[in-house]
């Protein structure tokens, strides 16, 4: 009887050991803790993505003007037949200029907006191919730069043809319309109405204060005093968002 009790006890110990061995372990990962502390399950911290500051263009880079002066009105006449040639000269409809030139126009625009006025641009960067096209359609050196002997300053990306509009988009009175090649368009101003002369002088003064110089024969034509080489490769994209 004594031996039977011992045998049963041994069998019970063996069976309990097998049950412990077969039990599935609890799958938890714990952080290291100091003595006497209970750790909580480890959770992975969310990955932090660094925020990169936007890179400012170099002064010689071409940029889309509307991205930096959203209040401008764009009426690229050479992208339509509504110009002195009566023919479409290029296909793009957005104004592009050198970044250095755009920064100066931004300063001009800020001053104008304080007075409730805005810029309207008729022409900005003009590719060399467009200049050849313009010469082909209207080969008169009085009005068009002959690309065979010298390029238009528009092909440098630092020249813009512009006027002023009010908050309704109405153009302010100026000596003439765009691409008027009569004597009325020059910067003499003595032969045009007083209001038109005052507006043209005010525009000229403001542009000069911010680093532009005007062409005497065209009140609307201004070039950045900082020059750039003629651009032979860049052409603004035709499709724009």
Per-residue model confidence as pLDDT tens digits over 174-222: 999 999 999 999 999 999 999 999 999 999 999 999 999 999 999 999 9
Q: What is the average pLDDT across 43-60?
A: 75
Phi, psi of 221 (to 5 degrees): -100, 120
pLDDT value for 145: 87
Using one digit for the tens of pLDDT, what is the confidence trace for 96-131?
Answer: 999 999 999 999 999 999 999 999 999 999 999 999
- Residue 51: its pLDDT value, please? 66
Residues 6+ apart with CB under 8 A from 149: none
pTM for this prediction: 0.77
pLDDT at 10 over 80: no
Average pLDDT, the chain: 84
In angstroms, the CA 101 to CA 61 distance is: 10
What's the burial of 219, exposed, middle or buried (CB within 10 Å: 0-12/13-18/19+)? buried
Residue 215 to residue 111: CA distance in whole angstroms: 22
Confidence of residue 55 (pLDDT cuts 50, 70, 90): confident
Which pLDDT score is estimated for 140? 86
Choice between 135 and 34, residue whose per-residue pLDDT is larger: 135
In this predicted structure, which of 137-141, 157-161, 175-179 has the lowest mean pLDDT? 137-141
Per-residue confidence band for 240, with pLDDT thresholds at 50, 70 and 90: low
Structure tokens at 174: 């100026």
Task: Determine the 3-state secondary structure of 129 from DSSP.
Answer: helix
pLDDT over threshold 70, residue 48: no
């Amino acid at each position: 009887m004594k031996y039977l009790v011992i045998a049963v006890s041994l069998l019970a110990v063996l069976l309990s050991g097998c049950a412990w061995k077969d039990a599935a372990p609890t799958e938890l990962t714990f952080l290291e803790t100091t003595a006497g502390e209970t750790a909580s399950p480890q959770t992975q911290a969310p990955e932090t993505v660094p925020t990169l500051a936007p890179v400012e263009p170099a002064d010689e880079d071409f940029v889309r003007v509307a991205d930096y002066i959203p209040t401008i009105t764009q009426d690229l006449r050479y992208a339509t037949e509504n110009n002195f040639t009566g023919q479409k000269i290029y296909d793009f409809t957005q104004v592009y200029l050198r970044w250095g030139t755009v920064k100066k126009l931004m300063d001009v625009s800020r001053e104008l907006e304080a007075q409730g006025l805005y810029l309207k641009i008729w022409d900005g960067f003009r590719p060399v191919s467009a200049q050849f096209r313009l010469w082909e359609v209207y080969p008169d050196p009085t009005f068009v730069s002959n690309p065979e002997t010298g390029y238009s300053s528009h092909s440098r990306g630092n020249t813009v043809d512009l006027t002023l509009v009010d908050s309704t988009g109405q153009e302010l009175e100026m000596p003439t319309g765009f691409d008027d090649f009569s004597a009325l368009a020059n910067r003499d101003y003595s032969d045009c109405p007083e209001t038109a002369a005052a507006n043209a002088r005010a525009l000229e003064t403001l542009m000069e204060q911010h680093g532009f110089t005007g062409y005497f024969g065209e009140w609307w034509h201004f070039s950045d005093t900082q020059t750039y080489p003629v651009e032979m490769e860049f052409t603004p994209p035709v499709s724009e968002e």
